[in-house]
Structure 1
Amino acid sequence: MADQTNPFGDLTKMLEQFKVPGVDMSALVASRRKDIEAIVEANKSAYDAMQAFARKQTEMLTQAMQDIQAATRAGAADPGKHAEMARNAWLKAVEDTKDLAEIARKSQLEATASLTKRANEHAAEIRQMLQRK
């Protein structure tokens, strides 16, 4: 595995060479690092949700195939069960759709919370920088 280096370390050294009066370059770089970490956290949440969504869809497809096979066997024996099977399939589809919507809602909530938290921290940092002058 490749040796991971801190990309912010080199950037910090480079920016500290430029002594800008009234600007704390280390704090500026640390703030940007927190921004990137918040984005990474939001992306991880979205990726995890995408995986959960795919697992749920796979589960839905597998169950649908099993239900179709069972319906085919039962339908040949008792044609009167078609309406009941269709109703059950409809209810299952509605339930699965609700589950998918819940997965998406949780993902959006987690990602938004992470980014909102960082935006609030960023606003506080800016206010603090402006008060120093």
Structure 2
Amino acid sequence: MKQSDATNPFGEFTKLLEQFKLPGFDVPAIMEARRKDVEALVTANQTALQGMQSLGQKQAEMLRTTLGELQSLVTQMSSSGGVPSPNTAELVQQTLHKALADMQELAQTAYQTQAETYTVLTKRVEENIQELKMLLQQKK
């Protein structure tokens, strides 16, 4: 069995379809369009993966920071004999504000990733529409 070319998975399929000459059926153009579709999906998946990795890294960093702050609060509480210090309420309030800001940052990262992925796919859909229009105009 012949080994297929990983860089061009459409090559053998194109050769197979070109054997059957059909009038008005431009095999290379159709295969090129499908190749572009696959490239757009690969790009969209890479964008989504990078966004999710970034999101995971930010979550891990936020967890490390929060655990560090919690450890600091526990250390302060234990050094003062378990009695809350006057600035404990302020520290709790700052931690809550930081947590809200972190959640907003995570939401923004997720939104940006989705928007970039959507843009890649939308561009390819628009290209497909233009290609279809050109094919229909050539047949007139």
Class of the TM-score when normalised by the shorter of the 2 chains: over 0.9
Letter in 2 for 1:71: L
Structure 1 residue runs of 4 or more that deviate by more than 3 Å after TM superposition: none
Which residue identity lines up with residue 103 of structure 1 in the other structure? T
Q: Give 3-state SS (helix, strand or coil) of 1:70's partner.
A: helix
Deviations 1:92-129 (A, max 9, x none): 11110011011111101110110111000000000011
Deviation, structure 1 residue 85: 1.6
Matched residue of 1:112: which SS? helix
Whether 2:72 is the aligned partner of 1:70: answer yes
Amino acid at match of 1:123: I
C-alpha distance in structure 2 between counterparts of 1:121 and 1:4, whole Å: 25
Contact 1:60 1:96 in 2 (8 A): yes
Task: List alignment gaps of at least 5 residues for structure 2.
Answer: none
Whichever residue aligns with residue 62 of structure 2, its letter is M
Partner residue of 1:41 out of 21, 40, 43:
43
Give 2:16's match in structure 1, choosing from 6, 14, 25. 14
1:31 to 30, 33, 37: 33
Q: Percent identity?
A: 42
Measured on the aligned residues, the alpha-carbon RMSD in Å equals: 1.3
Listed one character per residue, the Cα deviations across residues 15-58 of structure 1 (whole Å, up to 9, x for unaligned) are 11111100100000000000010010000000000100110010
Unpaired segments of 5 or more residues in structure 1?
A: none
Alignment match, 1:92: 98
Relative to total residues, which structure has the larger helix share, 1 or 2?
Answer: 1
TM-score by length of 1: 0.93
Tell me if structure 2 keeps the 8 A contact 1:42–1:111.
yes
Aligned residues: 131
Partner residue, 1:115: 121
Kindly indicate whether the alpha-carbon contact (under 8 Å) linking 1:8 and 1:29 is maintained by their aligned counterparts in 2: yes
On the 8 A contact 1:53/1:100 being kept in 2, the answer is yes
- Conservation of the 8 A alpha-carbon contact between 1:45 and 1:107: yes
Question: By how many angstroms is 1:5 displaced?
Answer: 4.5
Amino acid at match of 1:48: Q
Q: Which structure's CA Rg is the greater one?
A: 2
